[in-house]
Amino acid sequence: MTSRSAFLSFALALSIVDPMGRFGALAQDHMTPAVSAAPQPAAHLVVSQPLAGPLSAGLMVITFRTENLKIVPVYGETASQVVPRLGHLHITVDDGPWHWLHASEEPIIIQGLPSGPHRVLIELADANHRVLEAETRAFEIPQRPASH
């Protein structure tokens, strides 16, 4: 497959999963996509500890990075065939019964948690929501004086 036809396949995949076409420019400007059946290196998630400063104000901020996977809001079978691998994060707080998707490389920010200990599960998932790797971070929101 030529690089032009690979790019067209990638652009078509993006238009299928994003009918508004918002990610066409992203693909063209920031990636050299190809569709390939060749195995890719394993994806890896590196998660920092919550930042201490924001925690003292009741705000949980965690930075992270990925290796061999680009975090973008693109999903589905066609997107799962793109090289480099595309994916997103699943975030679960305090072993809750539900999670939400985090599909950007911006830090994870959670506010409004009550004082006390908490846990956040961060799962690295591929474009089909298959979990590839997971990290858990425990933290404590300190007691804050009541505001008047």
- Residue 147: the pLDDT is 64
Report yes or no: 133 and 43 within 8 Å, Cβ to Cβ: yes
**How far is Cα 141 from Cα 113, in angstroms, rounded to an integer?**
7
Beta bridge partners of 110: 60
Quick: pLDDT tens for 84-113. Answer: 899 999 999 999 999 999 999 999 999 999
Assign residue 68 a region: left if phi > 0, alpha if psi is -120 to 50, beta otherwise? left
The pTM of this model reads 0.73
Quick: pLDDT tens for 26-69. Answer: 444 444 455 555 688 999 999 999 999 999 999 999 999 999 99
Please give the domain boundaries of the chain with CATH numbers for all domains.
40-141 (2.60.40)
Tell me which residue has tokens 């993006």. 14
Quick: pLDDT tens for 115-143. Answer: 999 999 999 999 999 999 999 999 999 98
